[in-house]
Structure 1
Amino acid sequence: MIVEDDPTVRGVVGDYLRSSGYDVSSFSDGARARDALAEHLPDVLIVDRMLPGVSGDDLCRDVRSRSDIPVIMLTALGAVDHRISGLEHGADDYIAKPFSMKELQLRVAAQLRRHSPSAPAEPFTVGAFRIDPGHRRVWRDNDEIALTTREYELLLFCVQRPGEVLTRNDILGEVWGWTFGDASTVTVHVRRLREKIEPEPRFPVYLRTEWGAGYRFTPYGKG
């Protein structure tokens, strides 16, 4: 689904994705898109952040409250703080205008790959965390934690590498599939993940910052 108030952008994006083999529905305003989303969720939502009325941020929050479908946000706002704000509303990815149609198609394909069902894996425990990859569920000290798809993938990447220092580029490459990108994307998602897994997010004991290097996961909350 594409939600974009600029008819030229909406038409070009829709035509390109259809020519790439995707079924596409498109809407020019957030209110109509919200009604459609209440009836049926697409596999990927592409939404302009600056929509009149019901904004892209509003749509993203609404979708994220009930689903973990991937959301790609289009924005004409290139400043880092604007991109961070979009991610904090629950977007999985963003792309700044003007953009390449091929890049957008590759971003859509990457999101679909990451959300495609795969062979179930056995549950495993690392320190205080129990992970069920087959059902994408996570517990800390027997308490289940509700994570978005991106938060789950970030945590899974970290728990599989306990004690290692993981750079932001490492995380961008493995979790997002990007060979380049804005490190603030990682910073935002780490902060969101800490809010859910840490006893006190301001003083993390599991997902720690290694200043000037990246992050280190300590599964028992010490060391």
Structure 2
Amino acid sequence: MNPIIPPINTADSLFHDGNPATGELGTIVSAEWLNNMQGALRGNQSELIALLTAAGIEPSAAKADQVLTAMRSLFLGKTGQAADSAKLEGHPASYFAKADDLADASQLATEVARLWAQKLDVTAAFGVGQAVQNVTGSRSINTIYYNTTGRPIYAFITLAMNATANAIITINGVAMTGTGGTTGATGMCSALIPAGASYSVSASAGTPTITSWTEFR
């Protein structure tokens, strides 16, 4: 919508008739003011026609209630009377839920049901029902394992380095470098392992010995 048009350029912003007897001129209407007026009128017409178009109504100069009809169509749905039964006869249809409203309510109910079905299962949260386990005896260097628990687990590994190197833990093919040092140093690495992910431990050089492998699972 166009902004408010500026007033006519007179001292009191009003139009005045001239006075032929005294030679006083009337208000001069400039092309700029007329163009502003034309733009404002066309802008208002465009706004109203857009309302009619949204309601599927073709503008007609012979009808003086098209804006009202469009607003009723858009915001009330329809203007007829409810006649589904004798008790409803004569009551405005806008008092009752329309088919579109019922469809929206049905969609909302479906969405609520979907979200409820996907609600957070607290028993599956990380840490609930899990415990720290020493799995050193069942783990080896450069061997791929899989997290088959169905939940995230956390692994912490220490290595006795036999070369200058760092400990590395690899999850789903992505390597993450931990700490290390020279021969005899202790290298460490740890990571959270997603459900179903593969994981393995290695070193950037040499073949270290596992001194501890603990998993929270």
TM-score normalised by the chain length of structure 2: 0.17
- The structure in which a higher percent of residues are helix is 1
**Looking at both structures, which has the greater relative contact order when contacts are Cα pairs under 8 Å and sequence separation is at least 6?**
2
The structure with more strand, counted as a fraction of residues: 2
Task: Please say which structure displays the higher CA radius of gyration.
Answer: 2
